[in-house]
Chain A
């Protein structure tokens, strides 16, 4: 028995330092990555943002609201920390991490929409969290979503990279400055879509019926209110922006969107938040402005951002 235990210990003795070292190199390397997957996270972690205006929200913020246009029209400095597939708890976690590493913004352009009070059980693009799993906020977040990363992934060295050898490779090449590294087409976090209209929502509708479960969930509502309270207490001025949606997209939604809009209007009134609602703008209700039913394409985003920037003129003053 002694020999067996000694051999097991020897196996661990030789393995563990290697696993920890590889994990350290991969994590450190990826935290320097400019790849779209990690770029915004790294800008947040490396305190590179520090802007007065921050754009928050899910994909309808990330892919649609352009800091370039807002900066040029309003003469401000803004950054888009929107996150794809981000339910409100994800947006909230991201904002908390933002505040850990960057100065408090003066204004937040908060994208709101039919999904603001809805939570799901999937963590979209979960791999983007891998290098940062040791952060307690991210750890709690991944636990919240069907335990995407469980105890072994968080505590066994390198196990979080299981089946992500490409990330280890990328991390190593960044750490040792070898080879060409992935870059991104982001502008301060903004990722416009240039692909033609994709009708996959219709196909999904045919298969699954009204698949967008856009109900008002009590726990998400409370979390949203806590976020509004926090911003109010910290003198961060919020601006609600409800971007355009193709009208026919309402067929895909389970709940009545007007109830959600009414709730948003109620909070806007209660917290004295400007609410810029473009959802029913008839001028954008055309597929030429959309990449799919709910995300504006580059053309739509240009038109929308110009309008948004003009509407924000009276709300956000130009930087001194």
Chain B
């Protein structure tokens, strides 16, 4: 079930109202059933996979708690192998088979691993990582195992964050299912505001920008440098509004019921470095990878000094790339981020020295622009159909300069450079980006919902009508999936 669908418009108020009408002791069951309904709206049969991992991890958690020494490690390993095994089978089997077959072909071995017709269960990477964080935290003794099977199942399946995160940690979420959460008007208002803002970002901005991005990336051979740059910048904002919009709706729906989920985005395009970008972008995933991959590796390789940190960063971002999808383009995307982080780690001192010579504001602007440009460059690999197409598009980027000169000389027009995309739709796209950045500027260090809360009643209600009206009239609702659902 999509958050921007008519079904959800019915589902959400019914589930929420029932939640508050039911006595506290039945609420977990109600939420679990609702989450099953929510998940089964996609591919019903795949709920069995979820149940399988839930049972494995529930039992593993209790076994780890009761065991000692190497047995604890064994139970953790078994749980991780089960989770990763499911992920590998459903997400990576065909990718691995194709590549192994390529290797066989290359070394002239007459063998081929058959390909399977597998549909990736929606949100598999998200709930697998969330489930894994539970057993790891129990193993690390940071979390007591959950004895209530239903509540543990709800921890994995809680519908607001089931299919695209935030990837929660047991310490933050599990205890909340044991709390009564009486209706709280402030939570209701904050949650509803967040849902509205998330819907605006998704339906009005992201899906509109996607109408420009999709044709550019569909035919990379024939697009100009200008179209490549505009398409990529628009994709940067499309994916941000799509994913942060989803996260806002997830946080909002949970908040209305009194649950506080972790914040997933914090103005990532204002980051002054790639490291900072990853502290602001998909925070729940980057902190997961940092806690369970980067830190573990860096600690075990600590004797190698800075090299250990650099290698850990590279490996972590390769894992991040591979987590996003079973394709070389995601691995290249992850590697590019890993290389950037490694570069930042290795040149920290010299960059600091250099930036001391430049006034703060200018230095900040240069850093933000460079970081955003690099992030956009990596997005070409993320969004392109494959690495070959991405390389074709990267080669086109420098062409933007002679194209701009050509416009100045009237040898061609902007419309010609944009191919079939209208100049007015591009201007509207830039208008939305400008509006989004203006909102970010207004927010300062706060969240938009907090900024709105500080305004007078008249201003607040006018804003509600305006935003809701814009979503209603200008939002795109024809079942555009959220980009991160595919992961």
Contact = CB atoms under 8 A, between A and B. Distances in A.
B474 A165 contact: yes
A265 to B, nearest CB: 42
A1 B20 contact: yes
For the side of the interface on B, what is the size category?
Answer: 10 to 19
Given A1-B20, A15-B465, A158 B183 contact: no
- The DSSP consensus for interface residues of chain B is helix
B343 interface: no
B82 interface: no
Contacts of B185: 1, 3-4
B435 interface: no
Interface in A125-150: 150
A198 to B, nearest CB: 16
Interface in B471-487: 472-477
Contacts of A14: 465
Given A14-B465, A150-B6, A151-B6, A1 B473 contact: no
Interface in B438-474: 464-465, 468-469, 472-474
A152 interface: yes
A152 B189 CA distance: 25
A1 B183 contact: yes
A267 to B, nearest CB: 39
Contact of B472 (A3, A4, A151, A158): A158
B424 to A, nearest CB: 12
Contacts of A151: 6
Contacts of A201: none
B464 A159 contact: no
A284 to B, nearest CB: 33
A15 B185 CA distance: 22
Given A11-B464, A15-B465, A152-B6, A162 B473 contact: yes
A53 B469 CA distance: 46
Interface in A147-183: 150-152, 158-159, 161-163, 165, 168
Contacts of B469: 15
Contacts of A150: 6
B374 interface: no
Given A4-B183, A15-B468, A163-B475, 14 more contacts: A1-B20, A3-B185, A4-B185, A11-B464, A11-B468, A151-B6, A158-B472, A158-B473, A159-B472, A162-B474, A162-B477, A163-B474, A163-B476, A165-B473
A168 B469 CA distance: 14
B12 interface: no
Contacts of B475: 162-163
B6 to A, nearest CB: 5
A26 to B, nearest CB: 11
Contacts of A15: 465, 468-469
B207 to A, nearest CB: 10
A163 B476 CA distance: 7
A172 B132 CA distance: 57
B71 to A, nearest CB: 49
Given A4-B183, A15-B465, A150-B6, A161 B473 contact: yes
Given A3-B185, A151-B6, A163 B473 contact: yes
A279 to B, nearest CB: 34
Interface of A: 1, 3-4, 11, 14-15, 150-152, 158-159, 161-163, 165, 168
Contacts of B188: 4
15 contacts: A4-B183, A4-B188, A4-B189, A11-B464, A14-B465, A15-B468, A150-B6, A151-B6, A158-B472, A159-B472, A162-B472, A162-B474, A163-B475, A163-B476, A165-B474
Nearest to A156: B472
A171 to B, nearest CB: 13
Contacts of A4: 183, 185, 188-189
Nearest to B476: A163
Contacts of A152: 6, 477
Nearest to A151: B6
Contacts of B189: 4
Interface string B173-189: 00000000001010011
A161 B474 CA distance: 9
A270 B40 CA distance: 53
Contacts of B476: 163
Contacts of B6: 150-152
Nearest to B13: A8
A150 B188 CA distance: 30
Nearest to B203: A162
B372 to A, nearest CB: 30
Nearest to A5: B17
The 9 residue pairs across chains A and B that have the minimum distance between CB atoms: A1-B183, A4-B188, A152-B6, A3-B185, A4-B185, A162-B473, A1-B20, A165-B473, A163-B474
Contacts of B464: 11
Contacts of A162: 472-475, 477
Nearest to A14: B465
B56 to A, nearest CB: 39
B147 to A, nearest CB: 32
A14 B469 CA distance: 12
Nearest to A148: B478
Interface string B313-355: 0000000000000000000000000000000000000000000
A14 B475 CA distance: 21
B420 to A, nearest CB: 13
B65 to A, nearest CB: 39
Nearest to A7: B189
B164 to A, nearest CB: 23
B476 to A, nearest CB: 7
A191 B324 CA distance: 52
B374 to A, nearest CB: 35
B212 to A, nearest CB: 15
Contacts of A1: 20, 183, 185
Q: Which of B20, B188, B474 has the most CB of A within 10 A?
A: B188
Contacts of B465: 11, 14-15
B243 to A, nearest CB: 23
Nearest to A19: B472
B231 to A, nearest CB: 21
B96 to A, nearest CB: 33
Interface in B4-25: 6, 20
Contacts of A163: 473-476
Nearest to B20: A1
A151 B6 CA distance: 9
Nearest to A1: B183
Contacts of B468: 11, 15
Contacts of B477: 152, 162
A125 B6 CA distance: 24
Nearest to B474: A163
Interface string B101-130: 000000000000000000000000000000
B464 to A, nearest CB: 7
A11 B468 CA distance: 10
Contacts of A159: 472
B33 to A, nearest CB: 22
A14 B20 CA distance: 26
B253 to A, nearest CB: 14
Contacts of A165: 473-474
